[in-house]
Structure 1
Amino acid sequence: MTSSAPTSPVTAVSDVIFLDGTFPGSRDLLGGKAYSVNKMQAMGLPVPPAFALPTHVCAIYHDNGRALPEPIWQDVLEQLHRLEADTGRTFGAEPSPLLVSVRSGAAQSMPGMMDTVLNLGLTPQLCRVLADETGDQQWADDTWQRFRHSYASIVAGDPTAEPPADPFEQLRAAIGAVFDSWTNDRVKAYRARHNLGNGAGTAVTVQAMVFGNRDEHSGTGVMFSRNPATGENTLYGEWLSRAQGEDVVSGEKTPSPLPTVSEILPEIYPQLEQVATILEHEHRDLVDIEFTVESGRLYVLQCRAGKRSPRAAVRIAVDLVREGVIEPKEALARISPEQAAALADNHGVHEHHLVLASGIGAGPGAAVGHAVTDVDEARTLAEAGTPVVLVRPSTAPDDVPAMFESVAVVTELGGSTSHAALVCREIGLPCVVGAGAGTMTALAGRVVTVDGASGTVYDGDALNTDHSGARDEHLDELLSYLPGPVPAEHPLAPLTNTDQERA
């Protein structure tokens, strides 16, 4: 296929690329999600077939008045035929309709910041066809309702809107909506917080759907090859039966621990362990893997370097040196200045204070602030200098700018692999998720202490500023990799000062 847009800034690269593992594209070109899919296809892992519109097409779309040029759309249709051939299903037609997901993916991982549309390609008529084909009206209806909600909220921007009757119109609009999400406020806030610059744009991945909501032998989950909160070398993650991926990562439901998979689907858990081992070996790092099981068959949807707490970052880096995977110099480079600062400022809590709420510790560390349940109020107070603890039912992507201005986050629902937890863990923001219904009412207006390590919220200021706790052997070993005296401007300087105080 030849490039359909001569103005494309990337020479001799197609504007739509089939991800069969043979294309030698970089992460910058394909975006993180499509790059991951392409790489896992090349490794022979069970990945649903997909194609991508690379990152440079994002600029073409916006320069074209936020519209996909016709030649690129024709390329999309051509690659859609390849998905049909690979799946034996037909997009927008009987007797076996093909449904697809339309996913975002920038070069740098930004969990939950951009938009994704699932189950695309359904209409009321095709919903009936799907029910007839499978003999499962309940599943077909659930999938249709999920698509209606996703399309209305993400593509139409109107919760009362219905998807177009033409599935091809749905697809073209959803691709545009994903490109549009590149310029939303949460992306801007995330990129500013992490000094990522403006970036080239997001890619769009169109992938054949697999259904974790299909039956009792189906589900979806997120797993990490090591514990992202502590760094412990053990498989870690969460799982929801009869669910789709957004149910886990959105934080709108509280999932079960990953080991429950071994009880429900004992033949799947060893496959998960094997996949995690293979992908960690390939990445030479902690990996975050999204997966779905449909009717007892495992599919891997995405793999990326996992977001981790500052203390886990230290342990993982040191353990990988001990295992001979990376060199000490690389271990030092893997600790960001923000992680180093969070470790230097880390405080414990006085546990004799009244406990107001308990949940899952998702972002280690502790902080004190005024509990606020409204996003706009939280931002206003934070801008005025008031330490704010943001308390929400679950954290929607639009809450992210307020999260970045808060000292801690608490949610009533969700698990430790939700987007909110990933974002908090990455920046060292104390976070407690899944604290239960009524938490917002119990905490609103109070000064509270959030202990993200234990998953506990205490009344008042329970912070312990004493740094004389037990020494961290992994931190000591990491600091021993430093070549001599460390200048004050070095990212790890705060840790060496803290280490000297403890010695």
Structure 2
Amino acid sequence: MPRMAMFGHTAREPVPAGAFGNKAAGLAEMAALGIPVPPGFVLNVEICEEFHRDGGVLPPDVPGLLGRGIAFLEEATDLSFGGARPLLVSVRSGAPLSMPGIMETVLDVGLTPDAVRGLIALTGNPRFAWNSCWRFVQNFGTTVLGRDPAVYAGLQQRALQAAGVPSLAGLDSFSLRDLVRAAVEEEGEAAFPADAHAQLTAATVAVLESWMRPRALSYRQMNLIRDGGGTAVCVQAMVFGNIGPRSGAGVGFSRNPWTGEPGALVDFAFGAQGEDVVSGAVSAASEEGLRRTMPEVCRRIAGTARILEAHFRDMQDFEFTVQEGALYLLQTRSGKRAPLAALRIAVDLWREGVITAAEGRERLREVDLDTLLVRVPVPDTPPLAAGTPASGGVVSGAAVFSAETAERAAERGPVIYVCDILSPDDLPVVGLSAGVLTARGSRTSHAAVVARQMGRVCIVNCAGLSIDRKNHRCLIGGESLSEGDVISLDGGSGQVYAGEVAVVEERPLDLLEVAEGWSGG
């Protein structure tokens, strides 16, 4: 088996998922379908196995493989890695098993001082160049150098206060340049390699190391994954959702992942990179804003979703970037779904002739159809507030603000984890909780996807929520609640209620009748 594979419009060979991970395999298949995919290359999973077996030492052939891969990307893009016409790359994990948001990613690799000047000359957009550089410095600092994200958050907050603006979008190119310089000065110039290839090697090591970090180990343990092998390392030419007003990034599903309803569901953030959306760092809007601004792009996304679902014969979860009106796909995979959605999607795909009855049975192998219920709330008081539903169902429980409180309170009854934003590091507390409520974030973030996979009711981006952890209190829609007070979540509507709400339970009999018929077929 080769140690490296390439994909993109100039390389359309099949890439085996077992050797190179699901991410690269999906990208190669999309390229073969004619879907626009930034060109890239991927290192074999066995390199990760060797890296950890040898105590964190890169196999001797890796520098040569990285060099060959970069040469392929330079030829495919007509750009130069670290040069005057700079090629920038993303360095991502990509295991043969799905672990959304669990391992590391480093973006904008190759942004050396010379490359920043080249990017300004190439695009004529100094703000974009310094915005990208600030993103790189934060990403490299936290992921490769292991720095506390609070260091960079503090620097950014001081820059915002000095400029008198509320968010990063308000900083001009000079303020962003000064912010980058402050961060480099904080760490020392030697911390950020001025050589693009040194950056690439360091990012590759960080991705390989992330396979054995506590977050990944915990995820594999929670999902009973005993022999994951390792992760591939996927390197792609960057495309930029932060380059201008006709740019942005998003996540889409070919069907609704918590109800199973047909039709694409898309979250999109203008002026953002993909990691902003999947991390939950920005509260993405639905496709309505995209449809008003760039209707043709919206039509291409819907058409691409149909192509992907027809090809892979399953509901797809895909990530994309729009760069100045051009659509690029960055990933596709079979989407995580709630139990009710799994039932409806399997039945609908069978009715559409996409899958057989035997395949339908297999898709529902891990769904307990005997206990599958649709829970509808019957509240006797108005809701306190509403957010964006990210995983359906109705649940009541004691509000908790930390993993420590959740662990103690869960012994006495159901708990609901209330936080500012959900991250993959919160997986253990999500596992203890019956539901999750967040003040910020996106319904398509990696953390929300995992909560949905775990069957937890999840509401994100609740504008009426603020949390005072120090005093163990929160405000929901103007009402003050103490940690431990009971709240209820309706994951269908996104509404939040005080106290426990009555619930009517219904069985999806029409769907169950079809699925039960398969067992005898």
Give TM-score, length-normalised by structure 2. Answer: 0.85
Please point out which of 323, 327, 346 is paired with 1:298.
327
User: Is the 8 Å Cα contact of residues 108 and 133 (structure 2) preserved in structure 1?
Assistant: yes
Q: Distance in 2 between matches of 1:35 and 1:83?
A: 18
Partner of 1:233: 262
Partner of 2:448: 421
Q: 1:370 Cα deviation (Å)?
A: 1.6
Q: Distance in 2 between matches of 1:237 and 1:389?
A: 27
Q: For residues 148 and 237 of structure 1, do their structure 2 counterparts lie closer, same or farther at Cα, with a shift above 3 Å needed? A: same
Structure 2: give runs of 5+ residues left out of the alignment. Answer: 152-186, 468-473, 476-480
Q: Within 5 Å, give how 1:32-431 maps onto structure 2.
A: 32-93=22-83, 95-159=84-148, 161=187, 162-338=191-367, 340=369, 343-344=372-373, 347-382=375-410, 384-431=411-458
**Stretch of structure 1 that moved more, 354-363 or 135-144:** 354-363
User: Is the 8 Å Cα contact of residues 372 and 507 (structure 2) preserved in structure 1?
Assistant: no
Q: 1:471 Cα deviation (Å)?
A: 4.4
- Give the counterpart letter for 2:39 in structure 1: P
Q: Distance in 2 between matches of 1:352 and 1:272?
A: 41
Q: Distance in 2 between matches of 1:185 and 1:338?
A: 28
User: Is the 8 Å Cα contact of residues 377 and 394 (structure 2) preserved in structure 1?
Assistant: yes
User: Is the 8 Å Cα contact of residues 373 and 444 (structure 1) preserved in structure 2?
Assistant: no
- Give the counterpart letter for 1:18 in structure 2: M
Work out the number of aligned pairs and report it: 467
User: Is the 8 Å Cα contact of residues 16 and 72 (structure 1) preserved in structure 2?
Assistant: no
Q: Distance in 2 between matches of 1:472 and 1:416?
A: 28
Q: 1:411 Cα deviation (Å)?
A: 0.8
Q: 1:322 Cα deviation (Å)?
A: 0.6
SS at match of 2:211: helix
Q: Distance in 2 between matches of 1:186 and 1:347?
A: 32
Give TM-score, length-normalised by structure 1. Answer: 0.88
Partner of 1:474: 511
Does the alignment pair 1:28 with 2:18? yes
Structure 1: give runs of 5+ residues left out of the alignment. Answer: 1-12, 485-503
Partner of 2:174: none
- Give the counterpart letter for 2:299 in structure 1: P
User: Is the 8 Å Cα contact of residues 394 and 412 (structure 1) preserved in structure 2?
Assistant: yes
Q: For residues 198 and 149 of structure 1, do their structure 2 counterparts lie closer, same or farther at Cα, with a shift above 3 Å needed? A: same
Q: Distance in 2 between matches of 1:252 and 1:118?
A: 15
Q: Distance in 2 between matches of 1:432 and 1:317?
A: 25
Please point out which of 443, 454, 461 is paired with 2:500.
461
Q: Distance in 1 between matches of 2:490 and 2:60?
A: 53
Q: Distance in 2 between matches of 1:477 and 1:350?
A: 29
Q: 1:419 Cα deviation (Å)?
A: 1.2
- Give the counterpart letter for 2:57 in structure 1: A
Q: 1:186 Cα deviation (Å)?
A: 2.4
Q: 1:340 Cα deviation (Å)?
A: 4.1
Q: 1:444 Cα deviation (Å)?
A: 4.9
User: Is the 8 Å Cα contact of residues 185 and 401 (structure 1) preserved in structure 2?
Assistant: no
Q: Distance in 2 between matches of 1:28 and 1:302?
A: 17
- Give the counterpart letter for 1:429 in structure 2: R
User: Is the 8 Å Cα contact of residues 223 and 258 (structure 1) preserved in structure 2?
Assistant: no
Q: Distance in 2 between matches of 1:131 and 1:257?
A: 32
SS at match of 1:36: helix
Q: Distance in 1 between matches of 2:49 and 2:507?
A: 52
Q: Distance in 1 between matches of 2:92 and 2:124?
A: 29
**Stretch of structure 1 that moved more, 443-452 or 453-462:** 443-452
Q: For residues 124 and 343 of structure 1, do their structure 2 counterparts lie closer, same or farther at Cα, with a shift above 3 Å needed? A: farther
Q: 1:437 Cα deviation (Å)?
A: 5.5
Deviations 1:94-151 (A, max 9, x none): x111110001111111111111111111123422321122111111111011111111
- Give the counterpart letter for 1:34 in structure 2: A
SS at match of 2:318: strand
SS at match of 1:70: coil
User: Is the 8 Å Cα contact of residues 338 and 427 (structure 1) preserved in structure 2?
Assistant: no
Q: For residues 179 and 475 of structure 1, do their structure 2 counterparts lie closer, same or farther at Cα, with a shift above 3 Å needed? A: same
Partner of 2:3: 15
User: Is the 8 Å Cα contact of residues 290 and 298 (structure 2) preserved in structure 1?
Assistant: yes
Q: Distance in 2 between matches of 1:379 and 1:155?
A: 31
Q: What's the % identity of the aligned pairs? A: 39
Q: 1:439 Cα deviation (Å)?
A: 3.6
- Give the counterpart letter for 1:412 in structure 2: A
User: Is the 8 Å Cα contact of residues 186 and 401 (structure 1) preserved in structure 2?
Assistant: no
Please point out which of 489, 504, 512 is paired with 1:450.
489
Q: For residues 63 and 449 of structure 1, do their structure 2 counterparts lie closer, same or farther at Cα, with a shift above 3 Å needed? A: same
Deviations 1:215-269 (A, max 9, x none): 1111111111111121111111110111100111111211111232221112212
Q: Distance in 1 between matches of 2:200 and 2:508?
A: 55
Deviations 1:445-477 (A, max 9, x none): 12111221121221122142x53x364422232
SS at match of 2:372: helix
Q: For residues 34 and 471 of structure 1, do their structure 2 counterparts lie closer, same or farther at Cα, with a shift above 3 Å needed? A: closer
